[in-house]
Structure 1
Amino acid sequence: MARARRRQARGTAATASGASPLSSKASTPDPEAAAAVAQAAETCPGCTTDSNPSPSRNRAAVLKENWICCDVCKTWYHWRCATTEPPASLSEDDKKDYTIDRIDKWYCKPCLEKDPSRTITLKPPARKSDRKRNHQDYASLNLGLTSDPTRWVRMLENKTFKKDSFKRMQGSEVTVEWLEEDEDAMTEPIVVEKADGLGMKMPPSDFSVEDVAELVGEETPVEVIDVATQSASPGWNLGKWADYIELEPEAREKIYNVISLEVTGTKVGDMVLPPKLVREVDWVENFWPSTRKGKGHAYPKVQLYCLMGVASAWTDWHVDFAGSSVYYHILQGSKVFYFIKPTPANLAAYERWSGTELQSAWLGDMVDEVTKVTLTTGNTMIIPSGWIHAVYTPVDTIVFGGNFLHSFAIPMQLKIRKIEIATQVPKKFRFPLFTKLCWYVGDKYLRDLKAPAGAEYPSRVLASLLALADFLVSEARTLERGTDQAKKEVKEQIPADRVKDAAAVARELRWRVRLAAGNASDDEGGVVKTNGAGVKRKRIADDDERPRFKNFKPRRWDNVVEKADEGETRVVKANKPAEDDEAWKELWMEWSTGAVEGDAADAQVKSRTETIVRIRRTGEGLERQRVERVVESWEWQ
């Protein structure tokens, strides 16, 4: 009853605002909208005492009510009130087929009486054939799929899986310290059987889909997946989804699944807090400016998802967008995961399989092994970057989870992004604002590395950051020498509020990361290889050993004159520094002027002046540079 009352209030508001409940002027309306009109207006102009719906009519009957609109006065009537008998102007055959679906033009009784020349007409009947035809789901057939939602279950019965050996951890053990100190941390999924110690907040265990619909809003659109075709089913909102969930499993005509309802900023979102580890490493949480989150700002809203699946639902093989990691908590029900490790060979097989005719086949047959993991109520799982997985839902289930990018897995995150581009994943299914987020992250790390106190990072993070720097440098190169369209796309992703000179930020970040990893060179001509232990670098020889950027080609000098003039020799008093004495660095300026007093030895200083004059042509004429350098040689007596 409470649910019916909420729908009545919503329907009244919709009618009062003038919103039309029908998708066409003479067709079966959306049942939700029709019910709203019926409950708001209570009666149509053609209703009689006998035909007017009584309060005792059940809800299902109200939702099936059909309405029709007069083409002249635009007044809506119940179809049952308008169909006492077919118009006399119709032929005998048309009178037999006088239904709302056949109506072309329709007029109410007052409008017909006002102008007798008006005639109700029907659409021409569809051409029929006695030949039997099978309905084909061409969208599914295009990928070699069938419309049978249970085919995966039958397929699973004939497959073998590796026994689950993933680490089981206590919530208190899942910390940043574990991630920094354990080289194997976040390289394979972990399971936390009880949420205690994770620093996580979830809704109460009796939280229902009905509660989700009420707190988020029943009119909120929701993307629903048709399990049979693994494609979106249009026209759903949370109210309609809650109605579907309320049905008994045998009464559900199709099997549907909801896996992408993001609840940030809603009352449900206020009830959810990701695990502490996730919040401490999440790029969106830590690097996206807090002043650019919330209403009126576009930012990656991927941290709080509510997933609602029914029994026998299946989500086919996939990798979470941009290789993001996932936290996944079973509030009610159960999920069965099938995992494939992201080895180079397995990822190559996944790339060949994605979006092609191979997708009708079982991906597990193309890889080395598949691991099966079963989660039940109260379990939490963290899935690392790049892991390929499929999910089966044995019973109706509610899950809360979220995606996060972090600094320990940047190479894999970028690799998955390349696979998404190669397999032409639509942009709406990729990680939102990924490149802009990378610029925010790169800018913050650069600031920290430049700070006077410096910053120290684990070798895993430094190797990972080098991949980020290389990616940003590639973006900068596109900005410098790409096509106009490519330059525009790159520029749109650079956050002007933080990054003023993208090329400088990218290249300095790479240099400082290499320096922090123990390599002082930043030659773009070098080939860089990284591993978990740090950074290895192989340089390509060049006549000029000075670091230069690959895309920097200075104009040659037309003429260069070099000469050296011997200068004077003078004697000054200066303390001779010991070989291991670092104090001379502080006294250098005093020595150079001979201003050191006290116990000092005579030092003979010889100086010479080197002059270089360079001339070259420019677009404005000639450019002449004269550079002088004074070199002093100190010898103590």
Structure 2
Amino acid sequence: MARARRRSGRLNAANGTPEPSDEQPPNGSQQTQPEEENETAATTTTQPDEEVTVKKQEDDKCPACSPDTPPVDTESWVRCDACKRWFHWRCAGKGELEAIDKWFCRPCLDEDTKRVITMKPPARKSSRKRAQRDYAGLNVGQETDPLRWTRILETREIKPHNFKRMKGSEITLDWIEHDPDAFKEPIFIESPEGLGMKMPDSSFSPQDVADILGDDTPVEVIDVATQANAPGWTLGKWAEYFKKGPEARDRIRNIISLEVSGTDLADKILPPRLVREMDWVEKFWPSSKKGRGHQFPKVQLYCLMGVTNAWTDWHIDFAGSSVYYHIVFYFIRPTPANLAAYERWSGTEMQNHSWLGDMCDEVYKVELTQGNTLIIPTGWIHAVYTPVDTLVFGGNYLHSYNVATQLRVREIEINTHVPKRFRYPHFTKLCWYAAEKYLRDLKAKEEFSPRVLESVEALADFLVSESRTMEKGADPAKRESREQVPGDKIKDGPALARELRWRVRLAEGYASDEDSHTRSLKKRKGLSSNGDAASTSGAGSKRKRISEEHDDSRTAMFRNFQPKGWDVIEDKAGQKEEKTIRKRKVDDSGEDWKHAWSQETVDADDEAEEEATVTSTRSVLIKVRRSGKGIERHRVERVLEDWTWPATSGDSTDVKMKDEDSPPVNGYANGTAAADIDVQPNGTAEGEASNAMDVEVNGQAD
């Protein structure tokens, strides 16, 4: 980052101040002296007073100054981020020094063409992520064309959207729970009927907004040409600007960050019912911690106003939050490749001259008219264009149906250095509140769809990483992570995160000692822990049960959570029972017998001529431990059934090794002794066939 200082000028050069540090501008205790100049001063052989004079002259020298540059009483200095030399801003820079983020001198710019002077992000509070941009062209008088992107649109292939059109009454939580493809693409609703939302009538205008919130209310206004904040605006001034015709407006501007929660205007707005049912703030943030006097994520109710030809460049709504809008939208799918392209493009000089659509596979267009509603799912990259003067209500929300993408967008925001004030507010604390509620639900044996369980596992993994920061991170990171844990609900954040991860993995059907690589392979193959096909059904599908054939004394490979052990484990050997049942013998042909023999009970066949001898061996496993409410007792009864039939004429269990087509060798067939080898199947007596069944008839928690 460019270092800038404002200091007294050459009039202070003879004060004889100590040698400055490398991080300060020249001349004085708050200024930097370049390393080359330090070496020169150290090797100068003069008298002490002369040495100080020469050194001070070197300190005051700006590499960009001409010999006839007049001195001034106060001077602004800037340091080159490449060569670390200090320059007079009036000699080497252009524009406002306070707006500079990274600055390079002309020789360093010529040396490496990849270096670009960049500006600080505009000081505005926006619902959308705005990464840093290259505004160096503005500082040299190159005005940005506000219509350049709309002209690009005319030369690019934009596909009409094929997103699902639905009625408001069809947009329900039950639909999302049971349809695995639900809410993975934007949802277009032509009529608001059935959505369960409330909006002001069609005559509502920016003047009405100003009347309700107050003409003197400050508002963040964006200059579309520069995508920068235009200071000094109030709602009253905006209403007057909006009333003018397009030809009478000096510049194209819009408002994208007017959040109205807790105001009288909020009483006129109600988000769609589905949004309220999914929104984490509504579901998990304590109601006692919301409202006036409390800090909580206020992103649910936005009033957006744009004039003709206003453009908001490509972005993903903060933290991958989903949004609803009641404008013309341009969409890019959030595929891994497109998100990677967005990450390369965002926050770099590419934003000033590159069309993101050229770096991605496809761009879709959705045009909304009055009364239409668009619900945008997690992570969709989009730009917004208003062909006519427009007033829109919308909002952002996090939900439990694609947490992994929400976290991926947060990672992109961090990697592209988006300032915290432009990210989803209180994101991590909201994640802790959601985790605390899901842990309680899992303990209470609540059933969740596979889609939600997958999201909760992603949430748990994120919070475990936060826990590691608390335990092993640097002190500032530790402190920040601990401050995000809501003490009113959670006493031990790391323990909660690890228990949640353990429980959600069990609920998904994975044994606690399976490592993450094994689980990821099974997910890709569609298998559960026991190798069966994983369930893809919606809510109400039974969880895959973990095999009881494990050793409780075995050391678990699950690194971060060890469930409480059992106080008593008794494995009682069972007694044998023998009975005769009329049942047909299983032949070797066909596959139908597998289904019949895998049922919970095997019924007798009165028409069968054969009788089977059934030997049953029962055993009981009892496990007991103390719990927070008393005693937890598990009793598992197992039955091993061995079915055998007497041999009948024509049956043979002999395996003949003799090959009659080959001539004998020394009296032996194929070099082996010519003999019949009797095989005793399953350890039964010779001449008997056997089927064995291992049936668990009772597994319960008393």
Normalising by structure 1, we get a TM-score of: 0.63
Q: Deviations over 1:282-304 (max 9, x none)?
A: 10010000000001100000100
SS at match of 2:159: coil
Q: Does 1:488 align with 2:485?
A: no
Instruction: Report the Cα offset of residue 278 of structure 1.
Output: 0.6
1:192 and 1:552, CA in 2 relative to 1: closer, same or farther beyond 3 A? closer
Residue in structure 2 matched with residue 388 of structure 1 by the alignment: 381
Give the 5 Å matches for 1:341-352.
341-352=333-344
* 2:397 alignment counterpart: 404
Query: Cα deviations across residues 476-535 of structure 1 (Å, max 9, x unaligned)?
Result: 111111111110010010000011011110000001000110112156775642859978
Matching residue of 2:175: 178
Q: Which residue of 1 aligns with 2:190?
A: 193
Contact 1:459 1:532 in 2 (8 A): no
Tell me if 1:313 matches 2:310: yes
Say whether residues 1:461 and 2:452 are aligned partners. Answer: yes
| Secondary structure at the counterpart of residue 368 of structure 2 | strand
CA distance in 2, matches of 1:587, 1:512: 20
Alpha-carbon distance between aligned partners in 1 of 2:347 and 2:456, rounded to the nearest angstrom: 31
Aligned pair count reads 427
Structure 1 partner of 2:490: 499
Aligned to 2:249: 252
What does residue 220 of structure 1 align with?
217
Match of 1:470 in 2: 461
Taking the aligned partners of 2:289 and 2:555, their CA distance within structure 1 comes to 41
Q: Specify the alignment match of 1:547 in structure 2.
A: 556
Query: Corresponding residue for 1:428?
Result: 421
Deviations 1:430-484 (A, max 9, x none): 0000000000000000011112xx1000001111111000001001111111111
Structure 1 residues 308 and 582: alpha-carbon distance in aligned structure 2, compared to 1, 3 A threshold: farther
State the match for 2:230 in structure 1: 233
**C-alpha separation between the residues in 2 aligned to 1:575 and 1:389?**
66
Query: Partner of 1:168 in structure 2?
Result: 165
Distance 1:134 1:490 in 2: 39
Alpha carbons of 1:280 and 1:177: their partners in 2 closer, same or farther (altered >3 Å)?
same
The answer on whether the counterparts of 1:517 and 1:535 sit within 8 Å (CA) in structure 2 is no
Per-residue CA deviations over 1:187-219 (Å, capped at 9, x if unaligned) read: 111100000000011111111111101111222
Aligned residue number for residue 430 of structure 2: 437
Can you list the C-alpha shifts for 1:267-326, whole angstroms capped at 9, x where unaligned?
110111111111111100100000000011000001001111100100000000000001
* Structure 1 residues 575 and 415: alpha-carbon distance in aligned structure 2, compared to 1, 3 A threshold: closer
1:366 aligns with 2:359: yes
Partners of 2:518 and 2:229 in 1: how far apart? 44
Write the distance in 2 (CA, Å) between the matches of 1:509 and 1:224. Answer: 43
- Relative distance call for 1:165 and 1:270 in structure 2 (3 A) is same
User: How much is the aligned-residue C-alpha RMSD, in angstroms?
Assistant: 3.2
Within 5 A, what are the aligned runs for 1:21-36? Answer: none
Tell me, yes or no, if the aligned pair for 2:510 and 2:519 is still in contact at 8 Å.
Answer: no
For the structure 1 residues 320 and 134, does the alpha-carbon distance in structure 2 shift closer, same or farther, using more than 3 Å as the test? closer
User: In structure 1, what is the Cα distance between the partners aligned to 2:449 and 2:204?
Assistant: 41
**Alpha-carbon distance in 2 for matches of 1:213, 1:326:** 24
| Structure 2 contact 575–617 (Cα < 8 Å) conserved | no
The 1:379–1:580 alpha-carbon spacing in structure 2 relative to 1, beyond 3 Å, is farther
Partner of 1:327: helix, strand, or coil? strand
**1: distance between equivalents of 2:422 and 2:196?**
30
Q: Which whole-Å CA distance do the structure 2 matches of 1:198 and 1:474 have between them?
A: 38
Q: 1:422 to 1:459 in 2, by over 3 A?
A: same
CA distance in structure 2 between the partners assigned to 1:525 and 1:152 by the alignment: 44
Contact 1:469/1:509, CA 8 A, preserved across alignment: yes
Q: Is the 8 A contact 1:143 1:357 kept in 2?
A: no
Structure 1 residues 390 and 313: alpha-carbon distance in aligned structure 2, compared to 1, 3 A threshold = same
Tell me the percent identity: 61
Give deviations 1:313-347, integer Å, cap 9, x for gaps: 00000000000001110xxxxx1111000111101
Return the match for 2:265 from 268, 271, 292.
Answer: 268
Q: Which amino acid in 2 is paired with 1:326?
A: V
Residue number among 285, 292, 298 corresponding to 1:288 in the alignment: 285
Q: How big is the shift at 1:223?
A: 1.1
**Cα distance in 1 for residues equivalent to 2:619 and 2:269:** 57
Q: Cα deviations across residues 348-388 of structure 1 (Å, max 9, x unaligned)?
A: 11000001111121111111110111110000000010000
Provide the rounded CA distance (Å) in 2 between the counterparts of 1:337 and 1:256: 18
- Compared CA separation, residues 433 and 528, structure 1 to 2 (3 A): farther
Relative distance call for 1:532 and 1:435 in structure 2 (3 A) is farther
> In structure 2, do the counterparts of structure 1 residues 293 and 254 end up closer, same or farther at CA, with 3 Å as the change threshold?
same
Alignment of 1:525-604 (within 5 A): 528-529=519-520, 546-548=555-557, 550=559
Gapped regions of structure 1 (runs ≥ 5): 1-132, 330-334, 539-543, 554-571, 589-637
Task: Please say if residues 312 and 393 of structure 1, whose CA atoms lie closer than 8 Å, have aligned partners that are also in contact.
Answer: yes
* Partner secondary structure for residue 291 of structure 1: helix
Stretch of structure 1 that moved more, 281-290 or 214-223? 214-223
Equivalent position amino acid for 2:486 in 1: P
Aligned to 1:236, what secondary structure does the other structure show? coil
